[in-house]
């Protein structure tokens, strides 16, 4: 009984103990807040990547084939095979190639200036992505006319629309349309300089339709959809013409230099800034034509009915089936050729996960510092309370009881500190967005730049398991650091204290 009674009395009567409590409080609160934010980033990134990526990506190793045994260079057989599998909702081919922006005409000087600046030089190289999209002449006109007028995102129930949904472009276009209503940041210099950063495509159902601003002059041009960042940095506008050059393999000459002009039909916005700064979407048939029909597809994107349920099974099944039918190289390469979205973006996800672990380790040091504080305070207290220890022994306390008494002081420190830390940590993790906004306006500094990150809010997810682990860690740390002074107290000779005043 006396252990808890006296330890509590010491805790209350001695304000220095509060330093230990504050240490634990800060450590637990900071750990919960930061780990919640990191977990939020991780989950939000997964969601973002998930939202813009199909479930399974098939990327055949064309170059690995022995001549004569080459897999078909048209996507037809692969699509047919994939669509025939149970659990596959849609499969769409995609063609990727690299291009260089080679603007000529009246804008040439401006572009040269942009590209010669070191900060924008990377914009010169574009990632060309060809996707299959509904074209007006392939579907019944009345249904499209209706949905176009309503600007609704209700997709007509056509197989091809499902396939389009499997591409990243669908989500990226939807995001532009959704963001269109949101107010622009008036302080944004780029907006002032280059105008609106977003230009949604005129008709999202037929994104490669020429925009109304386009004035046809001679041969009609194919349309392209440019990433938001690229669009903004180059100061483009919907209806502008963009000239792109590329190099394609040729049987006769080795390499051919091609270039072509595209009309800008609008912008897309993925949640990956790098993608938005480099990618240009065109219709796959146009890109294949631009490349001289040397390639018609490089990837096949697969959307499943239920990824969580069938994902693992279908990845294996797809590998086996495609290998059996000689549609991928297979063997040891099969693992790389057929990947889930998580495996495809594993580096990004791993990087965030690593960051989370690193932050956790760094912040655990705060806990260790708090532990040291408890150690210092208790050591001081044991020296100071030598006489009390002697008195307690004379009254019948055992060394074990004295040990417990001092351990209990650390235990109370941990209870009070960890409780306060958990409450404040969880609360601030939940309210971090409004706290950041308030702090930003109070300090007149933008703490979280919503234009730089992928998200328009600070994501945070409080995981009870983590909170529990942190609290447990706080207790262990406190008790561990308290053990040495407590043990010293229990080994004190009570007589030394009792003999003299």
DSSP conformation letters of 395-464: TT--HHHHHHHHHHHHHHHHHHHHHHHHHHHHHHHHSHHHHHHHHHHHHTS-SS-TTTSS-SS------H
Burial class for 5, CB neighbours closer than 10 Å (0-12, 13-18, 19+)? exposed
Q: Which residues pair with 263 in a beta bridge?
A: 223, 241
- Interactions with another protein, residue window 89-108 (CB under 8 A): none
Out of 184, 398, 434, 451, name the contact with another protein by CB under 8 A.
Answer: 398
- Closest by Cα among 276, 228, 310, 324 to 127: 276
Q: Give yes or no for residue 499 binding another protein (CB under 8 A).
A: yes
Q: Give yes or no for residue 405 binding another protein (CB under 8 A).
A: no
Q: Give yes or no for residue 399 binding another protein (CB under 8 A).
A: yes
Q: Give yes or no for residue 406 binding another protein (CB under 8 A).
A: no
- Cα-based angle 356, 359, 361 (whole degrees, multiple of 5): 110
Question: Beta 254-268 vs 222-227: how paired, if at all?
Answer: parallel
What gap in Å lies between CA 111 and CA 41, rounded to an integer? 36
For the beta carbon of residue 39, count every other beta carbon within 10 angstroms: 20
Stretch that binds another protein, among 2-10, 78-86, 231-239, 478-486 (CB under 8 A): 2-10
Q: What is the pattern of x (binds another protein, CB under 8 A) and - over residues 468-497? A: --------------------------xx--
Q: State CA 300 to chain mean position distance.
A: 23
Q: Give yes or no for residue 360 binding another protein (CB under 8 A).
A: no
Q: What is the pattern of x (binds another protein, CB under 8 A) and - over residues 4-43? A: xxx--xx--x------------------------------
What gap in Å lies between CA 400 and CA 280, rounded to an integer? 74
Min CB(395)–another protein separation in Å: 5
Q: What is the pattern of x (binds another protein, CB under 8 A) and - over residues 363-392? A: ------------------------xx-xxx
Out of 170, 173, 263, 397, name the contact with another protein by CB under 8 A.
Answer: 397
For the beta carbon of residue 454, count every other beta carbon within 10 angstroms: 15
What gap in Å lies between CA 256 and CA 251, rounded to an integer? 9
Stretch that binds another protein, among 248-256, 293-301, 395-403, 433-441 (CB under 8 A): 395-403
Q: 153 CB contacts (<8 Å, ≥6 apart)? A: 174, 177, 204
- Interactions with another protein, residue window 207-236 (CB under 8 A): none
Q: Which of 128/407 has CB closer to another protein?
A: 407
Min CB(383)–another protein separation in Å: 15
Min CB(382)–another protein separation in Å: 15
What gap in Å lies between CA 229 and CA 273, rounded to an integer? 7
Count the site residues for another protein by CB under 8 A: 27
Stretch that binds another protein, among 137-145, 155-163, 185-193, 394-402 (CB under 8 A): 394-402
Min CB(375)–another protein separation in Å: 22
Q: Which of 112/398 has CB closer to another protein?
A: 398
Q: Give yes or no for residue 400 binding another protein (CB under 8 A).
A: yes
Q: Which residues pair with 304 in a beta bridge?
A: 88
For the beta carbon of residue 436, count every other beta carbon within 10 angstroms: 17
Out of 31, 78, 291, 393, name the contact with another protein by CB under 8 A.
Answer: 393
Min CB(474)–another protein separation in Å: 24
Residue numbers of the site for another protein (CB under 8 A)?
Answer: 1-2, 4-6, 9-10, 13, 387-388, 390-401, 494-495, 498-499, 501
């Amino acid at each position: 009984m006396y252990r808890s009674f006296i330890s509590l009395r010491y805790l209350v009567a001695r304000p220095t103990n509060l330093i230990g409590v504050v240490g634990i409080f800060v450590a637990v609160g900071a750990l919960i807040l930061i780990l919640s934010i990191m977990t939020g980033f991780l989950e939000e990134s997964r969601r973002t990547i998930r939202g813009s990526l199909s479930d399974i990506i098939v990327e055949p190793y064309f170059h690995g084939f022995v001549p004569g045994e080459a897999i078909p260079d048209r996507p037809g057989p692969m699509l047919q095979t994939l669509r025939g599998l149970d659990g596959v909702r849609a499969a769409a081919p995609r063609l990727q190639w690299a291009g260089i922006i080679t603007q000529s005409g009246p804008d040439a000087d401006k572009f040269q200036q942009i590209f010669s600046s070191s900060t924008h030089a990377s914009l010169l190289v574009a990632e060309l992505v060809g996707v299959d999209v509904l074209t007006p002449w392939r579907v019944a006109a009345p249904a499209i006319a209706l949905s176009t007028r309503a600007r609704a995102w209700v997709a007509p129930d056509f197989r091809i629309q499902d396939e389009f949904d499997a591409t990243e472009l669908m989500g990226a276009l939807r995001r532009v349309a959704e963001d269109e209503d949101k107010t622009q940041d008036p302080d944004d210099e780029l907006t002032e300089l280059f105008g609106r950063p977003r230009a949604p495509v005129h008709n999202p159902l037929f994104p490669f339709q020429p925009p109304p601003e386009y004035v046809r002059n001679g041969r009609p041009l194919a349309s392209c959809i440019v990433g938001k960042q690229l669009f903004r940095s180059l100061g483009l506008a919907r209806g502008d013409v963009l000239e792109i050059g590329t190099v394609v393999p040729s049987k006769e000459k080795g390499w051919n230099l091609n270039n072509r002009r595209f009309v800008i039909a609008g912008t897309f916005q993925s949640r990956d800034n790098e993608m938005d700064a480099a990618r240009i979407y065109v219709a796959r048939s146009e890109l294949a034509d631009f490349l001289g029909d040397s390639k018609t597809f490089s990837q096949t994107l697969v959307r499943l009915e239920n990824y969580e349920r069938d994902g693992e099974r279908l990845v294996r099944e797809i590998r086996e089936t495609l290998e059996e039918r000689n549609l991928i190289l297979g063997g040891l390469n099969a693992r790389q050729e057929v990947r889930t979205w998580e495996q495809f973006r594993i580096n990004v996800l791993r990087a965030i996960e690593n960051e989370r672990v690193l932050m956790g380790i760094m912040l655990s040091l705060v806990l260790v510092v708090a532990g040291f504080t408890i150690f210092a305070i208790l050591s001081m207290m044991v020296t100071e309370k030598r006489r009390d220890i002697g008195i307690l022994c004379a009254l019948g306390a055992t060394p074990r009881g004295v040990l417990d008494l001092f351990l209990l002081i650390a235990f109370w420190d941990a209870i009070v500190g960890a409780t306060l830390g958990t409450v404040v940590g969880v609360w601030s993790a939940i309210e971090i967005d409004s706290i950041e906004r308030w702090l930003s306006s109070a300090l007149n500094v933008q703490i979280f730049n919503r234009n730089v990150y992928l998200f328009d809010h600070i994501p945070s997810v409080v995981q009870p398991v983590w909170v529990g682990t942190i609290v447990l860690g706080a207790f262990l740390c406190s008790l561990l650091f308290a053990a040495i002074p407590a043990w010293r107290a229990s080994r004190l000779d009570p007589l030394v204290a009792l003999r003299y005043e």
